[in-house]
């Protein structure tokens, strides 16, 4: 069945309209951020991304937060999920439910209720913006869970670990040298999506008066809209690059497996 010519033309027109809707604002950001008063072009707004001290420190904060969140998420989630598969499969529904719960409890609700918890965190750990990583780990759980779960489902964890154990491996060896290398793409997927979410996070940071990238972009918007727009576009492009890379690494093998079934 070949599509008729009219349908093909209609498809192109529709795709063009969607492209226009989505690309015009992105193009406008580029145009707006490089505009100079009285005509002409300037790269000043883009240069500010590395020169403005507020912005650079916010970028560093957000990158560190992303790193801490990824490490914390892996340390918390990976052993738990492997443990559930190996020793208490009956708890898998509970863990899944808890991991997906942050989808139902919006970040806005968490930030409203977390003042007491953070009083303790600030008292026991520190009051730096990096403590936001604790709550960011919760925010990325649903996405990280799905990625890791997909990875674990594609291998036979029980058989692999029994084989390793019978050869004398301890639990740590099983986890780090048997399971992790086998679900590498799933872990990478979980890490990438977590980085993207943390770099885009605004709600919690702004309502707790911590300065991460998005808070500073928003704040700059009042005094220097061009730099804000440049930083926004840079952040979007960075996130796009991450997700594009993810589509090659994370889903490549699994997609083929599913297709073969």
Partner 1 sequence: MSRRSRLAPALGLLPFLAYLTVFLLVPTVTVVIGAFQEDGRFSMTNVEALFGETARRTLWNSLVLSGSTAVIGATFGAILCYLVVSAPPTSIFRRAVMSVAGVLAQFGGVTLAFAFIATLSFSGVVTELLRDSVGVDVFGSGWLFGLPGLILVYTYFQIPLMVIVFLPALEGLRPQWREAAVNLGATTRQYWTQIAIPLLWPAFLGASLLLFANAFAAYATAATLVSQGQPIVPLLIRAALTSEVVLGRQNFAFALALQMIVVVAVVMTAYALLLRRTSRWLR
Site for partner 1 in 86-115 (CB under 8 A): 87-88, 91, 95, 98, 101-115
Site for partner 1 in 142-161 (CB under 8 A): none
Q: Which is nearer to partner 1, 57 or 202 (CB)?
A: 202
Residue among 173, 207, 224, 254 that touches partner 1 (CB under 8 A): 207
List the beta bridge partners of residue 41.
35
Q: Which is nearer to partner 1, 187 or 199 (CB)?
A: 199
Judged by CB under 8 A, does residue 199 bind partner 1?
yes
Judged by CB under 8 A, does residue 77 bind partner 1?
yes
Measure Cα distances from 210 to 48, 88, 125, 203, 207 in Å: 21, 39, 16, 10, 8
Q: Least Å distance between CB 163 and partner 1? A: 20
Site for partner 1 in 236-255 (CB under 8 A): 236, 239-240, 243-244, 246-248, 255
Give the whole-angstrom CA distance, residue 47 versus residue 169.
53
DSSP secondary structure code for residue 127 in this structure = -
Residue among 67, 182, 202, 254 that touches partner 1 (CB under 8 A): 202
Q: Crossing angle of helices 252-260/225-249, nearest 10°?
A: 50
Site for partner 1 in 37-66 (CB under 8 A): none
Nearest Cα residue to 232 out of 257, 191, 188, 200: 200
Give the whole-angstrom CA distance, residue 241 versus residue 134.
26
């Amino acid at each position: 069945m070949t599509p008729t010519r009219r349908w093909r033309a209609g498809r192109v027109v529709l795709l063009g309209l969607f492209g226009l809707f989505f690309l015009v604002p992105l193009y406008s950001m580029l145009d707006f951020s490089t505009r100079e008063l009285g005509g002409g072009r300037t790269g000043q707004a883009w240069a500010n991304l590395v020169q403005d001290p507020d912005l650079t420190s916010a970028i560093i904060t957000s990158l560190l937060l992303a790193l801490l969140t990824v490490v914390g998420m892996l340390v918390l989630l990976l052993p738990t999920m492997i443990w559930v598969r190996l020793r208490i499969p009956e708890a898998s529904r509970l863990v899944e439910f808890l991991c997906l719960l942050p989808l139902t409890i919006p970040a806005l609700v968490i930030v409203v209720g977390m003042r007491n918890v953070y009083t303790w965190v600030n008292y026991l750990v520190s009051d730096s913006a990096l403590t936001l990583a604790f709550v960011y780990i919760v925010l990325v759980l649903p996405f990280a869970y799905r990625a890791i779960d997909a990875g674990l489902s594609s291998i036979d964890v029980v058989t692999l670990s029994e084989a390793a154990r019978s050869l004398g491996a301890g639990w740590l060896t099983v986890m780090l040298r048997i399971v992790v290398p086998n679900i590498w793409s799933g872990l990478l997927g979980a890490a990438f999506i977590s980085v993207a979410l943390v770099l885009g996070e605004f709600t919690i940071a702004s309502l707790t008066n911590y300065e991460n990238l998005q808070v500073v972009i928003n704040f700059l918007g009042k005094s220097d809209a061009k730099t804000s727009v440049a930083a926004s576009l840079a952040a979007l492009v960075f996130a796009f690059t991450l997700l594009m890379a993810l589509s090659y690494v994370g889903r490549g093998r699994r997609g083929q497996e599913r297709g073969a079934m």
